Amino acid sequence: MSSLPKQRGDSVRTTESFSEIMQHYVVDFEEPETPWLRRLSTENPRVNVHSLPKSYRVTKRCIDVVGSIFLGIVLLPVWCIFPLLVKLTAGPGPVIFKQTRVGLNNRVTAANENPNWSGTDRRSSFAYGKHFTIYKFRTMINEAEKNGAQFAQKDDVRVTRIGRFMRMTRIDEIPQLINVLRGEMSLVGPRPERPEFVDKLSNEIPGYLNRLGLQPGLTGIAQIENGYDSDTESIRRKISYDLQYLRNCSVWNDFLILWRTVYVILTGKGAL
Q: List the pLDDT tens digit at each of the 272 positions of the chain.
A: 333 334 444 443 444 444 454 445 444 446 677 889 999 887 777 888 888 999 999 999 999 999 999 999 999 999 999 999 999 988 888 999 999 999 988 765 444 444 443 444 444 444 578 899 999 999 887 665 656 555 555 556 788 888 889 988 889 999 999 999 999 999 999 999 888 888 788 777 776 777 888 899 999 999 888 876 666 677 788 888 998 899 899 999 999 999 999 988 887 665 55
By the 8 A CB rule, do 230 and 115 touch? no
In the prediction, which pLDDT does 263 show? 87
Q: Where are the domains of the chain?
A: 9-267
First to last CA, the chain: 36
| CA atoms in the 13 A half-sphere facing the CB of 84 | 5
In the prediction, which pLDDT does 85 show? 93
Residue 172 CA: distances (Å) to CA of 46, 95, 138, 225: 32, 10, 7, 18
Give CA–CA dist 36/157, Å, rounded.
Answer: 35
Give CA–CA dist 176/179, Å, rounded.
Answer: 5
In the prediction, which pLDDT does 113 show? 41
Residues ≥6 apart with Cβ < 8 Å to 139: 90, 97, 159, 160, 162, 163, 164, 166, 167, 172
